[in-house]
A and B are shown apart, each in its own frame.
Chain A
């Protein structure tokens, strides 16, 4: 397992370098100018040109590539717009994004797995219809719209939670109050995924021969479902959770914008709008690294659920 992990991590480096190189090229092909974005339309052409030179954008492409890569290895580079090291920005934003994503997944798992089990064991009955309908609604509703609905209901009308910002990590109560609605936004969407996946996997497993054998030898239904069927059904669910975790990190962008939370998603959108090439390159590679890491953790978790899985 250790050799497998090390090998996967080593393979990640060329992958991330390829991501970095592609992003470096693509952002420079796109129209738009970071100097114009930074100075606004009032600045004269001379001022824009002076800033462009200061940003190093007039150098040949290969020199820019070398410089930005060296900067990236040092501190993930420095933002073209604010001159703040991207590493410092990531260090501030990443914990908030991870906190939000993790909370979304936990809510998704806590609500989604039991709902999935219930809809599977009560197939084609009222709980099943209700669970499936709610899951469909959850899947169909965009995160930004759901977020606004939650704000209007729980923040504006009931005044239970704040609308914007993220509480400091040093103040657990404030942090959780700020986290509640954004986490619920992602959590509801995640719940829908997990419910549908758990239901369909469990239904497949419940048709297996060993389940029929268990029932035939007189095991209680609860033992058959929870002890024998669910464990096998959970492997694809965990896989989906892993994939969705990576997707959620990206999906958190809209949630972060609606709730004005700091986070990687907001940083990335901002970098894109301002053509902040350096910040954008750095942030996309961080995203790439997170996806690689989440995939690795997902693969490793299979072994915990199913002892037959071997890491060769």
Chain B
């Protein structure tokens, strides 16, 4: 009898411990969109994907400035920079799935399959990143990637890292599950998919055979809680351990005052930039764009948003990326356009608008776009520029700005490299509607194509960074855009959550949950 009671007690204790080690995270979302890593773009989807899949290399958890081995334990590049060879870790197990209840060992065949998938526009949203690449399985544990044109490590490695198309989707489960893969994902990560309850949650369980060792957590639940009050209440009551916060000063300060709750504000954040449409009068006149720049105060906008969550951005590429330009460097070049209302009025008068002018623009209802744009509206009014704003829903906004209707476009974005920032926003091929590959060049600038292309294929990192900086200086001279600030990510967590690493920045857009994350 005593033995029986002992078993019961131990069972209850184990059940309790197991229950306690389920980490619950609430995201600002109504539901998932897709858990296919080659399509996942929204924060809540990137988070789940991050826990389920690996790349050949990975950004160090908590610090995106360092690459370290992931599925590949080592790699080398040929002297001509055209061939990258990756040596895979042995014994990496694919999670179980229908058809392989024990999973199987990941080999080069899976990696090559995944890279082909990532490069296929019908099976990936990131196909454009893999143009001009060939993939070969040399042997079961060696993968070779051959480039048409050599790329520097800072441009190549992000394509095979644990981000977007770089996540390795194993061949077996993808083919076995077909379209169901998007809601039944199977990878090699520290956690494996267990259940999806539509509009409610995704449940993940520990992958005991994870190659870095079994995770400390028994599982993770990702909850979809679109209302911020409900998320915060759930954190306070202990129903969840971590929540996606609000990227506003007032919220951060209020939550910081709560006992037992820690607020994490981390990078890399998203750039908030005012693009000036040079194809539309009167913004087409350089003097008008200069007047706009001199009328604006980036510090005023940052004060409104909050210095804890917003950092000044003075050029097209944020300074923490290779080739980024810091505000001090911009100031040295004399291109800060510090607020000068008198000069702004004079420039407007010289351009033929002594009484200012009136323009209209659409903005999304999302606060992170709308609030700074309304602040810009108020600042421009001081020099007689009357900006009429029409607020529309987010989806409509994206459609409208891509139809080139706005003279000023406020855009929030994160891109993984200086090349991606400059190509997508400032290369002539990316001009909305009329570009060869219409994308997000809202300003219609054409002056930096040569510099962007020269930098892309430059192998000397120092020279490459110089070319990127040169392009940004030219953009500031042309005033294709007025960079405002970098908006950081905000999460709140119970003080019981120990990430297992120091959080400075995360490309997964949430504080990553790894095999070392635990509940204290």
Which residues of A are in contact with B by a Cβ distance under 8 Å? Answer: 30-33, 36-47, 50-51, 54, 81-84, 89, 92-93, 144, 148, 151-152, 155-156, 159, 162-166, 257-263, 266-267, 269-270, 273-275
Contacts and interface: CB of A to CB of B under 8 A. Distances in A.
B224 interface: yes
Nearest to A37: B395
Interface stretch (B24-32, B299-307, B480-488): B24-32
B199 A266 contact: yes
A84 B183 CA distance: 8
Contacts of B236: 156
Nearest to B435: A45
Interface string B372-404: 000000000000000000001111101110100
A89 B198 CA distance: 7
A33 B224 CA distance: 23
Given A82-B33, A155-B233, A262-B200, A162 B239 contact: yes
B370 interface: no
17 contacts: A31-B399, A32-B399, A36-B398, A38-B34, A42-B414, A44-B128, A46-B121, A51-B125, A54-B122, A89-B198, A155-B237, A163-B233, A165-B201, A258-B229, A260-B200, A260-B227, A260-B234
A270 B225 CA distance: 12
A32 to B, nearest CB: 3
Interface stretch (B5-13, B82-90, B437-445, B449-457): B437-445
B396 A32 contact: yes
Nearest to B403: A31
B165 to A, nearest CB: 10
B131 to A, nearest CB: 10
Contacts of A38: 33-34, 39
Given A151-B229, A155-B233, A273-B30, A47 B124 contact: yes
A311 B435 CA distance: 67
Contacts of B121: 46-47, 50
Given A32-B395, A33-B395, A165-B223, A43 B41 contact: yes
Contacts of A159: 237
Q: Which 4 A-B pairs have the closest CB atoms?
A: A40-B41, A32-B395, A31-B396, A43-B125
A11 to B, nearest CB: 32
A54 B179 CA distance: 12
Contact of A270 (B199, B398, B402, B440): B199
Given A50-B121, A258-B227, A263-B199, A275 B395 contact: yes
B141 interface: no
Interface in B188-238: 197-201, 223-227, 229-230, 233-234, 236-237
Contacts of B33: 38, 81-82, 274
Contacts of B402: 36
Contacts of A84: 183, 198
B395 A262 contact: no
Contacts of B198: 84, 89, 92-93, 262, 267
A36 B395 contact: yes
Given A40-B125, A166-B200, A274-B33, 7 more contacts: A36-B395, A38-B39, A43-B41, A82-B183, A151-B230, A262-B197, A273-B394
B398 to A, nearest CB: 5
Interface string B342-377: 000000000000000000000000000000000000
B403 to A, nearest CB: 9
A250 B19 CA distance: 36
Contacts of A82: 31-34, 182-183
A84 B399 CA distance: 25
B126 interface: yes
A33 B230 contact: no
Given A41-B440, A46-B128, A83-B179, A260 B395 contact: no
B144 to A, nearest CB: 26
Interface in B221-266: 223-227, 229-230, 233-234, 236-237, 239-240
